[in-house]
Amino acid sequence: MAFGWIDEQARTRRRAGLVRTLRPRPADSPLLDLAGNDYLGLSRHPEVTEGAAGAARLWGGGSTGSRLVSGTTELHVELERELAGFCGFEAALVFSSGYAANLAAVTALAPHGSLIVSDAGNHASLIDGCRLARGTTQVVAHADPDAVRKALDTHSGPGVVVSDTVFSVDGDAAPLADLAEAARQFGAGLIVDDAHGFGVLGSGGRGAPHASGLAGAPDLVATVTLSKSLGSQGGAVLGPARVIDHLVNAARTFIFDTGLAPAAAGAALAALRLLRREPERALRVRAVATALHARLTAEGHEAVRPDAAVVSVRAPSPELAVQWAADCRAAGVAVGCFRPPSVPDGISRLRLTARADLTDEQIEHAVRVIGATRP
């Protein structure tokens, strides 16, 4: 039977308690959301929703084609210019998703004969970029610049180091300055995914490269998502103008993909301008993450100290992690649940995301619910 192997895989997932299901949410969900990535609380801000609506009224529901055909509007160019300026880079290129941006950056900048040195904790989009690139990939120990040096020392051709700036599972930050130094020692480039740093770290939320003094460096390329801190959809690659020009000509997820919808571009631009005007939002989301961690550890939970907006709480097992998350939801608090195979270290977790618009009372309520439902 065609696709008969799917049934056996489904049975294996059920036996392991690893079945994933879609859970549609209503527009007026009563849940306190600590599962989504709306770090700055901007996805429903009136200026952001009007930015989306206004762009749709002006430009239409879709971009109508790939960026190189008809999908580049004046709005896309405006967003790219302001993103690059805000984050401290020479140029930017907007994609339909952060995933597409990561695939583009890695595949287009790691040609045949190159070595890609990839952190073991990298996001799936970076991993897939490494798999699709024509270069050879070597996975090294998590957040270990010495391991990066050892890998690069074995290769005489072009090299590129690939890392998240803030890792999505535990919320820990990469040692960017040390990684940059290791890459430069061997003439390699550095590609960093700043999905969880942009809008949270750096002066006014300008991102982890800005916070590390690396923004605008000629050997650094950063990717960001527009779907987290900016509450919209899409992604972008930031870097030297010559690198961005290369991506326009060589990145398949740019050349052959339909451009980002105008509504998403309009929402992202409105959110970016709001963040520029209200930089305290970045400070607030970090304060909320710190408060969540402090209250959870005070209650005896094993929580990882956050470097940005993600707070990870260890669970006893995959099955109990799923049950814990379900019990939190039943009690009115939505939390993320990470378990194998999404976490390669085999440690299941609840994943909480801080938001700048959470009140102190909501933080206390969340901590009470997580404690009351602990398995």
Residue 319 belongs to a domain: yes
Average pLDDT over residues 118-133: 97
Quick one: pLDDT band at residue 203, thresholds 50, 70, 90? Answer: very high
91 strand-pairing partners: 239
Do residue 269 and residue 339 come from a single domain? Answer: no
Q: Which of 212, 245, 277 is the last residue of a domain?
A: 277
Average pLDDT over residues 5-25: 87
Q: Which of 255, 277, 299 is the last residue of a domain?
A: 277
pLDDT at residue 139 in the model: 98
Compute the distance between CA of residue 204 and CA of residue 188 in angstroms, rounded to an integer. 30
Average pLDDT over residues 280-308: 97
Residue 12 belongs to a domain: no
Quick one: pLDDT band at residue 13, thresholds 50, 70, 90? Answer: confident
CATH classification of the domain holding 312: 3.90.1150.10
Flag whether pLDDT at 339 surpasses 90.
Answer: no
**Full-model pTM:** 0.95
Do residue 244 and residue 368 come from a single domain? Answer: no
Q: What is the pLDDT of residues 86-125, one digit of tens each?
A: 999 999 999 999 999 999 999 999 999 999 999 999 999 9
Do residue 289 and residue 249 come from a single domain? Answer: no
Compute the distance between CA of residue 170 and CA of residue 63 in angstroms, rounded to an integer. 36
CATH classification of the domain holding 167: 3.40.640.10
Percent of the chain beyond pLDDT 90?
Answer: 92
Q: Give the residue numbers spanning the domain of 349.
A: 28-43+279-372
**Number of domains making up the chain:** 2
Flag whether pLDDT at 344 surpasses 80.
Answer: no
Q: What is the pLDDT of residues 151-163, one digit of tens each?
A: 999 999 999 999 9
3-state DSSP call for residue 338? strand
pLDDT at residue 18 in the model: 77
Quick one: pLDDT band at residue 37, thresholds 50, 70, 90? Answer: very high
pLDDT at residue 104 in the model: 98
Residue 202 belongs to a domain: yes
Residue 15 belongs to a domain: no
| Chain-centre distance for alpha carbon 87 | 16
Quick one: pLDDT band at residue 166, thresholds 50, 70, 90? Answer: very high
Flag whether pLDDT at 19 surpasses 90.
Answer: no
Do residue 79 and residue 135 come from a single domain? Answer: yes
Residue 13 belongs to a domain: no
Flag whether pLDDT at 342 surpasses 80.
Answer: no
CA distance to 35, 316, 332, per residue, from 329 (Å): 10, 18, 5
Q: Which of 224, 253, 277 is the last residue of a domain?
A: 277
Residue 335 belongs to a domain: yes
Residue 74 belongs to a domain: yes
pLDDT at residue 39 in the model: 98
Quick one: pLDDT band at residue 30, thresholds 50, 70, 90? Answer: very high
Do residue 32 and residue 126 come from a single domain? Answer: no
Do residue 250 and residue 306 come from a single domain? Answer: no
Average pLDDT over residues 211-232: 98
Quick one: pLDDT band at residue 340, thresholds 50, 70, 90? Answer: confident
Average pLDDT over residues 5-10: 92
3-state DSSP call for residue 298? helix
| Chain-centre distance for alpha carbon 9 | 29
Of the listed ranges 223-232, 235-244, 310-319, the least confidently predicted one is 310-319
pLDDT at residue 14 in the model: 86
Instruction: Give the DSSP letter string of 58-112.
Output: HH-SS--SBTTTT---HHHHHHHHHHHHHHT-SEEEEES-HHHHHHHHHHHTS-T
Do residue 106 and residue 186 come from a single domain? Answer: yes
Do residue 170 and residue 308 come from a single domain? Answer: no
Do residue 195 and residue 270 come from a single domain? Answer: yes
pLDDT at residue 350 in the model: 96
Flag whether pLDDT at 17 surpasses 80.
Answer: no
Phi, psi torsion values for 148, nearest 5 degrees: -65, -45
Do residue 214 and residue 327 come from a single domain? Answer: no
Residue 201 belongs to a domain: yes
Do residue 163 and residue 294 come from a single domain? Answer: no
pLDDT at residue 227 in the model: 98
Percent of the chain beyond pLDDT 70?
Answer: 100
Q: What is the pLDDT of residues 311-336, one digit of tens each?
A: 999 999 988 999 999 999 999 999 99
3-state DSSP percent of the chain in helix, strand and coil, to 5: 45, 15, 40
CA distance to 75, 79, 184, 190, 324, per residue, from 217 (Å): 26, 21, 11, 10, 44
Do residue 299 and residue 196 come from a single domain? Answer: no
pLDDT at residue 347 in the model: 86
